[in-house]
Amino acid sequence: MISLRLYRIYDIGREIDIDWLERALAQNYFTARTSFVRVKPKSIMIEDPPLMIQMHPIRVEREGRTFEFSVVARVFDIGAISFCFVHDDRDADYNELENLAFLFAGQEGLSEYYVQYLKTLGEIIKPHIKNFAIDPEFYEDYTVYVTDRRDDSIDPVPLLTGEKSKISPQMRQEVVKNSLSYTVDDLVMLSWDSALICDPESPTDIIDLIEFANVQVLELRYYDRELSRGMEKMYDDIEHADRLSQFRRSRKYHAIMAKQMEMYAEISEIIEKVDNLIKVTEDIYYARVYATALKVLRSGQWSESVTRKIDVIRENYSMLSDEVRIQHSNFLEWVIIILIALEFGLAIWQSIW
């Protein structure tokens, strides 16, 4: 038995009321909440499990062959939606799985299908999402290959790279180094854009963990981009304010500070939700798989980038706040000087008259 799972994940808004959305879609779609089946309930903690929606299947033509994919969407409360195209073949072997890897390398030719599902489902769920927005060009994609038999004599590198060319020893080591096993019969091999899972039992929990990791990375990438845009706007506004008169400059600084605090508070709250999207507590193996997936996907680098930009925004807020206080202090000093001058003037005028 083999299975090909093609993922593409998009950001669609700030917050989603999953409970409300589930009730709204229940009449026309098969929906369910994500749950892990091979671990104790307390081993993996999800504060608000994503909503799974069964979509209509599709057929895709490749080199004269027709492949049917079932389509599943998952909506996450942090504002992300994940589409998964699933092709199962119970009678096929690893060679067929490798052929599929070459046929669908890089998910080439599937973008129009993803966008179609994104727009269709987006129109349905739009009323239930805060700050709904879709950017079809910004996404995270990932491919998971599944087989029910582990065979160490088979080379997994061509499958994971989607290339038939000879791979150098250095690159080969890079591809296969993130491998984990719980028993001698199973294997999870994680690379930067694909994973191979060999397991005689249904590995749905492992597959879901990999999907969660990709969702986290997508959201970190998205808010890193939003922070970059916000910082560019902030610097442009400060440059514009510096050309204004002192009174207008102070008002402009106040407006910039208000926007900074709003962005800082909003994104900090969302990033905290992203970081706590899922917690693997008591299952050591699943915790290792999840941590490895985040490492391979460079989650730490994106998280550090987001943290640095949030710190820059906080520092700029502090600098502007100090500047506003200095301007306010200077204004009060001038008011005092003027009042003293007026008092002296009034005293002189009274003495003369």
Q: Average pLDDT across each block of 10 residues of the chain; the chain has 353 residues. List them in order.
A: 95 83 80 76 77 92 92 92 95 90 89 93 80 88 94 88 84 90 94 94 91 94 89 79 70 73 78 82 86 93 89 75 63 70 72 67
Q: How do 187-190 and 179-180 pair as beta strands?
A: antiparallel
Report yes or no: 70 and 57 within 8 Å, Cβ to Cβ.
Answer: yes
Question: Residue ranges of the domains in the chain?
Answer: 2-212, 220-349
Residues forming a β-bridge with 32: 52
pLDDT of residue 314: 78
In three-state secondary structure terms, 286 is helix
Amino acid at 349: W
Tell me the angle at which helices 284-296 and 204-241 cross, rounded to the nearest 10 degrees. Answer: 40
CA atoms 164, 169, 174, 175: torsion sign: positive
Cβ density class 155-185: b for 16+ within 10 Å, e for less = ebbbbbbbeeeebeeeeeeebbebeeebeee
The H or E element containing residue 10 is strand 2-11
CA distance readout (Å), 301 to 50, 183, 193, 273? 25, 31, 16, 18
**Two structure tokens written together for 288:** 């290792």
- pLDDT value for 87: 96
What is the identity of the amino acid at 65? R
Q: What is the pLDDT of residue 40?
A: 64
259 close to 234: Cβ distance less than 8 angstroms: yes
Contacts of 219 (CB under 8 A, 6+ apart): 11, 78, 79, 80, 270, 274
Q: What is the pLDDT of residue 333?
A: 67
Q: How many helices (H) and strands (E) does the chain have?
A: 9, 13
What is the model's pLDDT at position 328? 63
Predicted structure pTM score: 0.86
- Return the pLDDT at 330: 61
Per-residue CA distances from 309 to 64, 72, 231 (Å): 49, 35, 8
8 Å CB contact between 84 and 10: no
- Indicate the pairing of strand 140-147 with strand 31-33: unpaired
Nearest of 240, 247, 265, 243 to residue 317 by alpha carbon: 265
Lookup: tokens for 240: 């514009």
pLDDT at 247: 65
pLDDT of 188? 96
